[in-house]
Amino acid sequence: MTDYLIVGGGIAGLCFADFCLKHNKSFAMIDDKTRTSSKVAGGMFNPVVLKRFTSIWKSDEQLALAMPFYKNIESDLKTKFLYEIPIFRKFASVEEQNNWFHSCDQPSLSHFLKDKISKVKINHISSDFGFGEVYQTGFLDVNHFVTSYQNFLFNLNLLSFETFHYDAIEFENDSVIYNGNSYKNIIFAEGFSMLNNPYFNNLPLDGTKGELLIVRIPDLNLDKIVKSGIFIIPFKDDLYKVGATYNWQDKSDVQTQEAKNELLEGLSDLIDCDFEVVEHLAGIRPTVKDRRPLIGTHYKHKQLHLLNGLGTRGVLLGPYLSDLLFLKIEFEIPLDQNVDINRYYKKMQLK
């Protein structure tokens, strides 16, 4: 009997797969190549909400796990996809400067924020009010991470590219049968596609559409992430990621001229040199109304588990939530109530 069947080969599913590998748990993975959130992921990670200068949930714990986690995978796969570079938040007013200093005095934020306004000269980017520098930040090349790890698993015969059929699940006392194979557990890490999952689609996943541009800017020579109304991330070969938009009504992954114009306007306001749009991407982020992920065990079928709702912070949440779920399943360590899907099952009076 195989320990796990993982459905979904995006960040969440791959992070859980790595915990299985490191703990000598057998698994198989199925992916149908519809990962729309990976398409639009800037991959930026940081411990601070840059709009309000507040700390993200469990920031220290997430960073402490994620950095060695990705570096170990880089070592295993002999490639690079994690880049630790600073984020410079462009200030738009004296009020933002004051809010920054107020946040610098907060114990949960002081080790992430430079307590002085940076007047650094950034090529082709000006700021009358300076910048705030954020520590322990960077970006993950999400597409390279996903592709590299999927190829690794495929070559080990652990990954198959196919559509999962929910009606093919057969339940036994302590296992499930799928396509003639027996598994102790199924992990559903499907992102926005969870809405098609009859076992978990009663949970409040509320996808948020995001659009992103890949632009070529030969004269910029930027070696840091800059965040203003938009973010700009140095990628490779004079290429930069520019994003991202947020649309809570449109649930398609079709690029829109409206979002493109919004990003182009933001980029033109930020830089004063020429650029060329190379690619325009769109996807649906798996977000939740209470801004907390959805992980845990089905109220009735104890062999079925959910790993979802990573939203805009999947790079840090992927390893952290995978660890929590793995410990819950293998060692019965209770989940944090903030992320446990039981918070919704209780409201629905499901047991």
Beta strand pairing call for 181-188 and 2-7: parallel
Of 29, 3, 20, 4, residue with least CA distance to 164: 29
Q: How many domains does the chain have?
A: 2
Strand partners, 82: 140
Select from 264, 285, 306 the last residue of a domain: 285
DSSP state of 121: -
Does 262 lie in the same domain as 213? yes
pLDDT at 291: 86
Q: 346: which 2 tokens?
A: 């209780």
pLDDT of 35 = 62
Is the residue at 157 inside a domain?
yes
Its pTM stands at 0.96
| 211 lies in the same domain as 132 | yes
Q: What is the pLDDT of residue 120?
A: 92
* Cα separation, 283 vs 132, whole angstroms: 30
**110-162 pLDDT tens trace:** 999 999 999 999 999 999 999 999 999 999 999 999 999 999 999 999 999 99
271 and 240 co-located in one domain: yes
User: Does 163 lie in the same domain as 192?
Assistant: yes
Q: Is residue 26 part of a domain?
A: yes
Alpha-carbon gap, residue 189 to 146, rounded angstroms: 14
Average pLDDT, the chain: 94
pLDDT in the model for residue 94: 96
Position 289 confidence tier, pLDDT thresholds 50, 70, 90:
confident
Say whether both 293 and 192 belong to one domain. yes
CA dihedral defined by 158, 334, 311, 231, rounded to 10 degrees? -100
* Residue 245 lies inside a defined structural domain of this protein: yes
Last residue within a domain, chosen from 267, 285, 303: 285
pLDDT at residue 282, rounded to an integer: 92
Identify whether 191 is part of a domain: yes
Cis peptide before 244 (omega within 30 of 0): yes
Q: Are both 281 and 296 inside the same structural domain?
A: no
Give me the CATH number covering residue 310.
3.50.50.60
**pLDDT tens sequence across 10-62:** 999 999 999 999 999 999 999 998 765 765 678 999 999 998 899 999 999 99
Structure tokens at 221: 């020579």
Q: Provide the pLDDT for residue 306.
A: 98
Q: pLDDT at position 38, please?
A: 66
- Per DSSP, 157 falls in state T
Q: Residues 209, 282: contact at Cβ < 8 Å?
A: yes
Find the domain containing 159 and state its range: 2-41+143-204+289-347
* Percent of the residues in the chain that have a pLDDT greater than 70, as a whole number: 98
321 and 219 both lie in a single domain: no
Q: Is 129 found in the same domain as 6?
A: no
**Do the beta carbons of residue 108 and residue 59 sit within 8 Å?**
yes
Query: Domain of 247: which CATH number?
Result: 3.30.9.10
Q: In terms of domains, do 276 and 170 share one?
A: no
Mean pLDDT of 272-293: 93
| Residue 74 located in a structural domain | no
Residue 56 placed within a domain? no
Do 223 and 271 lie in one domain? The reply is yes
Does 77 fall in a domain?
Answer: no
CA–CA distance, 251 with 110 (Å, rounded to integer): 38
281 shares its domain with 293: no
Q: Is the domain of 131 the same as that of 216?
A: yes
The answer to the question of residue 111 being in a domain is: yes
Q: What pLDDT, on the 0 to 100 scale, is given for residue 236?
A: 87
**Distance from C-alpha of 285 to C-alpha of 282, rounded to nearest angstrom:** 10
